[in-house]
Amino acid sequence: MKNKINRRDFIRKNSTMMAGLGIAGTLPLIAFTDKSGPLKAVRFGFIGTGGRGRGLMNNILSIEGVEILAVCDIDPVALKAAQKIVTDHGQAKPEGYSGVTDYEKLVQRDDLDAVIIASPWDLHTPMAVAGMKAGKYTCVEVPAAYSLDECWELIDTHEETGVECMMMENWSFRPDNLAVLNMIREGLLGTMTHAHCAYSHDCIDHWYFDRATGNDRWGAKYLIEHNRAQYPTHQQGPVISWMDINCGDAYDTLTSTATDSFSINEYFKRKFPGHPNGDRKYKQGDIVTTVVKTKMGKTIVINFDMQSPRPYDNRWTIQGTKGIYNEQRDAVYLTGVSPQYHSWEPFPPYHEKYQNRFAKDIFGGHGGADGVMLNQIVKAVRNKTALPLSLYDGVLMSSIGPLSEISIAKGSKSIEVPDFTRGKWKTNKPYFTL
Ligand SMILES: NC(=O)c1ccc[n+]([C@@H]2O[C@H](COP(=O)([O-])OP(=O)(O)OC[C@H]3O[C@@H](n4cnc5c(N)ncnc54)[C@H](O)[C@@H]3O)[C@@H](O)[C@H]2O)c1
């Protein structure tokens, strides 16, 4: 295969190059800063400029040296608003692309270094594949893929082209989650044994259906046609690095169980009596619970919950042989360290002490996690190094969508999780934010 290369080879290749230049250290290249010389402009194109795309544009434009030269959206209102964001930041009006397949033209521009994709889910993989094939650093919103075929298409394209691609799982970069990662790496929690994570976010009235009319938005069709963990990556973002998944351990099997579908019909009866969507049959159950068993004998519970009325919640817990962190309680318990036997102690002092060095990059959306992530992306593109989150991690997180659907359809049968690293998880070394 032409130019066959994967992320680890890419890092190794560039580490050798850096050693040749007399630059200290090997892993990871994201530590390679741009302190020497003038700051090189990093030129982005944006595909999909709805709510998320424009939020990311606003954030990334506040990073020094970032330019946006092209934007693409089929909605003329969204396109115009995106162009205005760029001119409001004092830059030239970016060229607008508005056709359904115009993203293919945008990625071909030879004045772009990178593309950011924030379109509806079924467009993520085709757009990301087009970006990689055009040789652009490609960053795609979550989930990176909707089907298992798409998961493999992303991996195959990445390996065949040697082009960097990353799923923008921003919760991986949340400052508190990064501090927990540092604590784990310092050995405070012992050997990891179990994690719990959830995406509990009532999005029924703005993502799946229009808030004012109750009519379908692009997300509605997924609830009609599928029963799965529709949005499975925010939960797993930090867990993947906490548990060394894809670098020392790997998902082995999973089972998924869904409740029946209740909340969507009740929502319509309550909010829009008589609306035809209220009597429609939805395949999607209210809550999907997936249990993963890893090859090294650990377990992870992944909860999906996006249609019931409720406050936002991630319920991250990570447990090891020496202690436990609980995000909901904002607390830890460390055996032999915590002052009171079997009693929680507050996490904030630990957050302060074990802050990740990326914490200085906190700004923008999602409690600063978006800023931490975007800063690392810009540095990687500028320095032509690996993107901060491996595509193998992004694809694995995304695969829980289609895999959960298969398990649910088979009565919660245990099914195998594909090894997207093709065995490299055994020798890969931890890299995330190092
Ligand atoms: N990481 C996060 O925290 C986060 C938060 C919100 C949304 N998202 C993700 O971002 C993506 C977009 O979500 P959103 O809330 O912005 O939705 P949105 O509906 O506001 O925006 C999607 C945009 O894509 C455009 N689009 C549709 N087809 C297109 C095409 N062929 N070419 C170009 N543009 C096209 C639409 O016109 C729309 O403007 C989703 O995948 C979602 O999962 C991630």
CATH number for the domain spanning 144: value is 3.40.50.720
Least confident span in 121-135, 255-269, 347-361: 347-361
| Mean pLDDT, range 307-326, rounded to an integer | 97
Tell me: do 165 and 217 sit in the same domain: no
Cα-flanking dihedrals φ and ψ of residue 69, to 5°?
-105, -20
Q: Is 203 in the pocket of ligand 1 (CB under 6 A)?
A: no
Q: CA-CA distances (angstroms) from residue 69 to 17, 66, 92, 110, 286?
A: 30, 10, 8, 11, 42
How many helices (H) does the chain have, and how many strands (E)? Answer: 13, 15
Q: Same structural domain for residues 282 and 334?
A: yes
Q: Does pLDDT of 149 surpass 50?
A: yes
> Please, what is the average pLDDT of the chain?
91
Mean pLDDT confidence for 381-398: 98
Boundary residue ending a domain (126, 149, 170)? 170
* Mean predicted confidence (pLDDT) in 255-264: 98
Q: Average pLDDT of 114-118?
A: 98
Q: Residue 433: inside a domain, yes or no?
A: no
Q: How many structural domains comprise the chain?
A: 2
154 and 195 within one domain: no
> Could you tell me if residue 374 is inside a domain?
no
Residue 117 resides in a domain: yes
Q: Is 366 within the bounds of a domain?
A: no
Task: State percent of the chain over pLDDT 90.
Answer: 88
**Range of the structural domain that residue 41 is part of:** 7-170
Last residue within a domain, chosen from 108, 137, 170: 170
Q: Which of 155, 170, 185 is the last residue of a domain?
A: 170
Does residue 107 lie within any of the structural domains? yes
Q: How confident is the model at residue 224 (pLDDT cuts 50, 70, 90)?
A: very high
**Quick one: 157 and 299 in the same domain?**
no
**146, 189: one domain:** no
Average pLDDT over residues 69-76: 98
User: CATH number, domain at 189?
Assistant: 3.30.360.10
The pLDDT-based confidence of 362 (bands split at 50, 70, 90) is confident
Spatial CA neighbour of 254 closest among 283, 286, 232? 232
Do 133 and 227 fall into the same domain? no
pLDDT tier, 363 (very low <50, low <70, confident <90, very high otherwise): confident
> Residue 343 has what pLDDT?
97
Q: Which of 46, 49, 52, 172 to mutate to test the pocket of ligand 1 (most atoms within 8 A of CB)?
A: 52
How far is ligand 1, taken at its centre, from the CA of residue 9, in Å? 32
Q: Is the CB of 78 under 6 A from ligand 1?
A: yes
Give the model's pLDDT for residue 30.
30
- Is there a single domain that holds both residue 163 and residue 184? no
The stretch 272-286 carries a mean pLDDT of 97
Cα–Cα distance, 384 to 322 (Å, whole number): 40
The answer to the question of residue 379 being in a domain is no
Model confidence at 8: pLDDT above 80: no
pLDDT at 38: 66
* Domain-embedded: residue 422: yes
Residue 411 sits in the same domain as residue 267: yes
Using CA atoms, how far apart are residues 192 and 300, in angstroms rounded to an integer? 11
Residue 54 has pLDDT above 90, yes or no: yes
**Same domain as 185, residue 325:** yes
What's the confidence (pLDDT) of residue 24?
Answer: 27
295 and 202 both lie in a single domain: yes
191 in the same domain as 163: no
Residue 195 lies in a domain: yes
Model confidence pLDDT, tens digit, residues 235-248: 999 999 999 999 99
Note the pTM of the prediction, 2 decimals. Answer: 0.92
Q: Are residues 41 and 88 in the same domain?
A: yes
Mean pLDDT, residues 354-377 taken together: 87
Q: How far apart are CA 265 and CA 280, in angstroms?
A: 7
Kindly state the percentage of the chain with pLDDT values over 70: 91
Task: Indicate whether residue 123 lines ligand 1 (CB < 6 A).
Answer: yes
